Each structure stands twice: as C-alpha cells, then as structure tokens.
C-alpha cells in the first residue's frame, strides 16, 4: 500500500475531541456523564441570531460570496473593534473566516516558513503546536508556571527568541488556564515583538469572557500598532456568543497579510456562508446584554468549581480571571494527568481534559471547563471527592 504524505503523518488534531467521543460512548452505555471536558458553552445561540440566519436562507443568501467576507460584516466588525479596542481598522484589515482555528493556520502558513520558529507557551491551546508542526515550522515553548499564576515571564520570552523566530503567540484570557494577562505583561510582550521585529498573534477568542472585579481588565496588544504592522487579532463568535457550531469568526491584521490570508482561505474553503455572516452581523449589532448575563453565570460557576476543587484532598486550584476553564494542580492525588482524567471518567462519569494534552508543562494539572449548570458542577465535585477519598 502507498504511504501517506508527510503532512498527514504530522497531524495531531485536538485530543479533547477524543475524550468527548469516549464520554459519548459511555453515555450510550447508560452512564450519567457530566461534561466538563470541552470548551463549548452550554447556552443556546441568541434567538435573534438564529432568526437572522433563517431570514438569510429564506431570502436566497445561499450562494458564494466574496472570499474576504461580506462588506457589511467587515464594516460592523471594524466598528466593534473601535468600541472594544479603541481603534478603527480598515475593512481590508479584516478577514471573515469559519471560526478562529483556521485563522491560526492561515496566519502561520502565510507568515512562517518551514524551519522557522514560533514562540508559544506551555501549556497552550492544542492547535498552536499542531498547526505549527503541520506547516513544517518549530514550536518554541516558554513555560506558564502555577507559581506565576500561569502568566508568561517576559525574561523567558526574550531568551526564547532566536534569529529564526518569526512570531509570538499569546492567548489572554487563556485556554487551558483561564489566566488573564495584565496590561504591563502585554506591553512587555509587545515590546519584545517590536524589538526583534516579530509578528505577534494575539488569540482573543475569550476576550469578552473576563470577570471584571478581578486584579486585571482585558487588554489587547492590537492597540499599539492598530494591527497595521505586526499584530494579528484572532477573534471568533464561538465562545462569547455561544456559536461554536456556526463556524464564524474574524481576524484583523496588516492589510498585506490579510490579503494573503484571504487568498489562502479562498484556495481552501472559497468563502464563509453568507447567511452565517448575516447572523453574525445580527449578533454584533443587537443588544449585548445577554453576553453580560452569560458572564455573570460563568463567574458564579467559576467560584463554585474553584471552591469545590480546593475542598478535595490533593487538589489545589487558582481562581482565574477569564475564559471558562480552571486548571487545578492534581499532583497531591498521586495520579498523573491522564490517569486522573481516565480513572475519574471511568469511575465517576465526570469528563475532564488531562493537562498534558496542552503541553508537557500541563502534566500534573487537569482542565475543567465549567460550561455546565451549578447543579452538575456540584455533583461532579461530589463524585470526584467521594471517589478520591
């Protein structure tokens, strides 16, 4: 039989989807599974957004559209950027994409040559490593340490830069840790990118999911160059609008880069469905109150899960400032991350994601995603506590 291509051999995918498959299999066997493994909001997409998509379908918006994205979408996204980040990008700085994951691929494929380096953190969102390796580039990892509240130390970052470095990726609020970077930290990272003339990809898919009374507020490095020189602002509707299944997002960056990313998108997916873009315009232009309500709910859940986990022997959990994840240290249980997740799933039906799936630095930690009800979170804590005692 003929062998696969080099690219196929390098594919890693997103391992948490494999845990979801395992959990679903258990469910089919009748196990009462509590899902805390995957970063998918349990809220429904807003009704007016669903209605806008249906209206788009009914009104014949069912054909190809411009590959960079509909003008109306990009205009509204530019205005949103002005309101949220304080600067108005041109519409040629914005590209509409099916979710944020592909933005990472488009950016890395257009900006990084095989053999060149991209600095990421360890742990980090799984796609970074997978996509960098898929593109034949090298992922250079800087640690995120619990004693530093999972924030990147600029000294480590500076040390990681070599003559082959092309890009730094940051992600605040963070997956898997939930950590929120301060303005000072982001400024230092931007200065490093600037001093070595590197691209800075800022993954802000959780940018709206910030618990405002915490130490810090959300801050984006895009304010420094208005996405004109080096910053790429990665954004999507998946998390903040509870629209993971719609596959819609937008990325902002320098016009010359966005133009190339648009060509690549055109090459591999042609364009994003127009009725989905119309729904996203509705999401951006209608009242944003429901997002605030979701954030309040997530915050209450965060407090519940942090308190609950800290009450279990052998587990210590920081209280993160954003996203919908906690990343407790489970070393005191004597179990490795994968053993913890596997045995907890098999014995209690609680599905979680082992920390080492996010990089070696995640060993000894487990990611819990609190996109589930208060009752289910309390029940999950109770089951784990009983199992481990």
Ligand X SMILES: Cc1ncc(COP(=O)(O)O)c(C=O)c1O
Contact residues toward ligand X (CB under 6 A) are: 39, 99-101, 125, 171, 175, 203, 205, 236, 238, 244, 249
Q: How far is the CB of 103 from ligand X (least distance, A)?
A: 8
Q: How far is the CB of 205 from ligand X (least distance, A)?
A: 4
Q: How far is the CB of 119 from ligand X (least distance, A)?
A: 16
CB-based contact 84:202 (threshold 8 Å): no
For residues 147 and 145, what is the distance between their CA atoms, to the nearest angstrom? 5
Residue 155's CB is within 10 A of a number of other CB atoms, namely 11
- Rank residues 95 and 312 by Cβ distance to ligand X and give the closer one: 95
- Rank residues 105 and 275 by Cβ distance to ligand X and give the closer one: 105
Q: How far is the CB of 59 from ligand X (least distance, A)?
A: 26
Q: How far is the CB of 190 from ligand X (least distance, A)?
A: 19
- Rank residues 185 and 348 by Cβ distance to ligand X and give the closer one: 185
- Rank residues 109 and 312 by Cβ distance to ligand X and give the closer one: 109
Q: Is 348 helix (H, G, I), strand (E, B) or coil?
A: helix
Q: How far is the CB of 376 from ligand X (least distance, A)?
A: 20
Q: Which residues have C-beta within 8 Å of that of residue 135, sequence separation ≥ 6?
A: 105, 108, 109, 112, 114
Q: How are the residues of the chain apportioned to helix, strand and coil, as percentages rounded to the nearest 5?
A: 50, 15, 35
Q: Is the peptide bond before 286 cis (omega within 30 degrees of 0)?
A: no
- Rank residues 139 and 381 by Cβ distance to ligand X and give the closer one: 139
Which bin fits 226, alpha (ψ -120 to 50), beta or left (φ > 0)?
Answer: left
- Rank residues 76 and 384 by Cβ distance to ligand X and give the closer one: 76
For residue 260 the two structure tokens come to: 């190339």
CB-based contact 265:67 (threshold 8 Å): yes
- Rank residues 39 and 328 by Cβ distance to ligand X and give the closer one: 39
Q: Which residues have C-beta within 8 Å of that of residue 273, sequence separation ≥ 6?
A: 62, 65
Q: Which helix (H) or strand (E) holds 22?
A: helix 15-28
For residues 336 and 41, what is the distance between their CA atoms, to the nearest angstrom? 27
Q: How far is the CB of 211 from ligand X (least distance, A)?
A: 17
């Amino acid at each position: 039989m003929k062998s696969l291509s080099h690219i196929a051999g390098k594919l890693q995918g997103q391992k948490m989807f494999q845990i979801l498959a395992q959990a679903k299999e258990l469910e089919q066997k009748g196990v009462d599974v509590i899902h805390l493994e995957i970063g998918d909001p349990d809220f429904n997409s807003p009704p007016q957004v669903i209605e806008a998509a249906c209206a788009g379908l009914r009104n014949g918006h069912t054909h190809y559209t411009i590959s960079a994205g509909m003008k109306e979408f990009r205009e509204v996204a530019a205005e949103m950027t002005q309101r949220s980040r304080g600067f108005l990008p041109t519409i040629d700085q914005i590209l509409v994409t099916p979710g944020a994951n592909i933005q990472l691929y488009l950016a890395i494929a257009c900006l990084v040559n095989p053999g060149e380096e991209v600095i990421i953190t360890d742990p980090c969102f799984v796609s970074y490593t997978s996509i960098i390796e898929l593109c034949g580039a090298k992922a250079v990892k800087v640690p995120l340490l619990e004693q530093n509240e999972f924030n990147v130390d600029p000294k480590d970052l500076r040390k990681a830069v070599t003559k082959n470095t092309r890009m730094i990726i940051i992600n605040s609020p963070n997956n898997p840790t939930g950590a929120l970077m301060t303005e000072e930290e982001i400024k230092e990272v931007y200065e490093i990118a600037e001093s070595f003339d590197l691209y800075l990809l800022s993954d802000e898919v959780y940018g709206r999911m910030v618990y405002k009374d915490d130490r810090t507020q959300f801050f984006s490095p895009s304010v420094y160059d208005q996405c004109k020189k080096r910053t790429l602002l990665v954004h999507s509707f998946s998390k903040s609008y509870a629209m993971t299944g719609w596959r819609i997002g937008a990325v902002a960056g320098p016009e010359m880069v966005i133009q190339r990313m648009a060509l690549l998108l055109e090459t591999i997916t042609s364009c994003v469905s127009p009725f989905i873009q119309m729904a996203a315009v509705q999401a951006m232009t209608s009242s944003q109150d429901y997002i605030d309500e979701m954030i309040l709910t997530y915050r209450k859940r965060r407090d519940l899960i942090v308190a609950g986990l800290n009450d279990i022997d052998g587990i210590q959990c920081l209280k993160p400032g954003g996203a919908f994840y906690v990343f407790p240290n489970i070393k005191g249980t004597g179990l490795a991350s994968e053993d913890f997740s596997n045995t907890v799933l098999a014995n209690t039906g609680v599905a979680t994601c082992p920390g080492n799936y996010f990089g070696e630095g995640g060993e000894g930690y487990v990611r819990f995603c609190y996109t589930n009800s208060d009752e289910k979170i309390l029940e999950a804590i109770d089951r784990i506590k009983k199992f481990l005692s």
